[in-house]
Amino acid sequence: MRSIATIALIAAAATAHADESVRTGAAAYGDWRSDAPGVRRLITPADLPQPYATPTVANPSSLVSRPPGALPKAPPGFTVDLIASGLSEPRVIRTAPNGDLFVAESGAGRVLAFRADGTSPAPAKPRVFAENLPQVFGIAFYPPGPDPRWIYVATPGSVLRFPYRSGDLAASGPPETVVPDLPRGGAHWTRDLAFAPDGQTMFVSVGSATNDADGLKAIAARFMGMDQERDRADVLAFDPDGRRKRTYATGLRNCSGLTVEPASGALWCVVNEHGLGDDLPPDYATRVAEGGFYGWPWFYIGAHEDPSHKGERPDLAGKVRVPDALFQPHSAPLGITFYEGGQFPAEYRGDAFVAFHGSWNRAKRTGYKVVRLLMTDGRPTGVYEDFLVGFVAGDAGVWGRPVDVAVTRDGALLVTDDEGGAIWRVTFHS
C-alpha cells in the first residue's frame, strides 16, 4: 500500500510534468552551476538511481574571502543586506515574540541577543545573553505565545533553560538543567528544540552517532548491549520540565532542524542522509509523525534497502514512512521555517524556507543555498525552488554556507551563515 506522502509526490510529479518550469527526473539533479533564483525541482522515489551508481567521494569545500561587493542572489524584487559579520559559527536563529533576535554562536559557545527595532536593516550591536555553552545549537521560547518566561537552549549533551522576560538581552539568572543526559559523542552533535503548540511537549532532535551504523565497533556494541545508537537518529519528547522522556519518532539519521508548522501544528524536520554515491539517497524535509519510522539505517525513502544492511530487517520494509519532500542528495539541509509574514508576495505565505549547508562528499558541489518549499492548501507539493544562491566562488571554494532561517516580525527573512560568520536579511519591495 502506498503511503499518503508517496501518493502526494506522484500527484506532484504529474502536475510538474505539465509544468515545464519544474525540473523533474534526471533534470532535477545538478550542481551549483545550475542554481538560480526561481529554478524549481521535484525529486520523487521513482527518480532514485541504484546504490553506488557513482563512487562516493570526499570533496570538502575550502573557505575563500567573499569577493568585493558580492552578495547572495535572490529573485527579482528582493533585496539582500548583510546585517551582522565577524561571528563565530552562527547557526540557529530565532525571533522572539517582541522582535528581538537570538542566535546560537556555536563556535564561541554562547547565545547572542540582537535588539531589532525595525527602523534600519542592521540590528543593534549584539549582547551576550548567555555563555559557556559548548556547541550550543537549539533555541526555543517557552511557553509558546506572546509572553514566554523561559529561553531553552540545547548543547550536545543537555537542554538548559534561562529565565526570560520580554526585552531581556542578557539572562537574569543562572540556567536550570532540564535534560542533563542527552546522548553525546560520535558524529552529529547538533540538537534542535521545538515545543508543541499547546506547550505540553518539548521535542529534541538527536542525530546518529555513526554514519550508517556500520563497522565493527557499532556491530560489537549492538551485540554487547551497549548500543551507541541508543536514543540516536530519533526525535525525543519530554514534558517541558524534562520529565517523562519518550521516543517520538525514529530512523531520522540527522534531523538537524525542527519547527512547527503554524497552521496545522505539525512537527517538521529536515534530515541529512548518508552517501551511496553522488545522487543517493536524497536529503529531505518531512512532517514527523508520532511513532513514525523513517528507515535509517536499514532503509531509505520508503522500502529502498540500504546495501550495507541487506537482509538484516526485512520485517521493517513495509513500515518506513516516505518523507514529504526530497532534496538533491548531499545538500545538507540544516534549518527550516514557515513563512507567515506579510512582507513577501502573497504566494509565499504558508511556504517553507530551508537552508542548505552544502555538500562535502559529492564530486560536483551542490547545496550552499536557501530554497523555498512549495505548499498547496497547507500540504507539501514536493516541489522546491531556489531562493537565495551565490555562496559558491568556484569548484573548490565557497565564501558562505547557510545554516538556519527565521522570519522577523516585519516579515523579512534572516539567514545565518556559519562559514562566513554572517547573518543576511532578505526583504521585498513591491
Give Cα separations from 38 to 73, 114, 239, 337, 363 (angstroms).
11, 31, 41, 19, 24
| 8 A C-beta contact, residue 35 and residue 74 | no
Dihedral, CA of residue 25, residue 29, residue 30 and residue 32, to nearest 10: 130
| Residue 11, pLDDT score | 54
Buried b (16+ CB within 10 A) or exposed e, 47-57: bbbebeeeebe
What distance lies between CA 347 and its chain's CA centroid? 22
Grid coordinates representing 71 are 552578495
HSE value, Cβ hemisphere, 13 Å, CA-based, for 42: 26
Q: In a 3-state reduction of DSSP, which class is residue 319?
A: helix
Rounded Cα–Cα distance for residues 205 and 124 (Å)? 31
How, if at all, do strands 397-398 and 62-63 pair? parallel
Question: What pLDDT does residue 13 have?
Answer: 52
- pTM, to two decimals: 0.94
Q: Regarding beta strands 22-24 and 369-376, do their DSSP bridges make them parallel or antiparallel, or are they unpaired?
A: unpaired
What is residue 8's predicted lDDT score, i.e. its pLDDT?
54
CA angle, corner 36, sides to 286 and 69, nearest 5? Answer: 115
Sign of CA dihedral 6, 345, 141, 188: positive
For position 226, what pLDDT does the model report? 44
In whole angstroms, give the CA distance from residue 355 to residue 418: 12
What's residue 225's pLDDT?
47
Strands 402-407 vs 397-398: parallel, antiparallel or unpaired: unpaired
**Residue 404: per-residue pLDDT:** 98
Query: What's the domain range around 352?
Result: 4-428
Take residue 416 and report the three cell numbers written for it: 545565518
The number of folded domains in the chain is 1
Q: Report the Cα–Cα distance between both ends of the chain, in Å, rounded.
A: 47
pLDDT, mean of each 10-residue run, the chain (430 residues) = 52 53 96 97 97 94 94 98 96 97 98 80 85 98 98 98 98 97 95 98 97 61 63 98 98 97 97 96 98 97 96 96 98 98 97 98 96 95 98 94 97 97 94
* C-alpha cell recorded at residue 351: 511556504
In CATH, what number is assigned to the domain containing residue 304?
2.120.10.30
**Contact in structure between 89 and 421 (CB atoms under 8 Å):** yes
Q: Write out the three cell numbers for 261.
A: 508548522
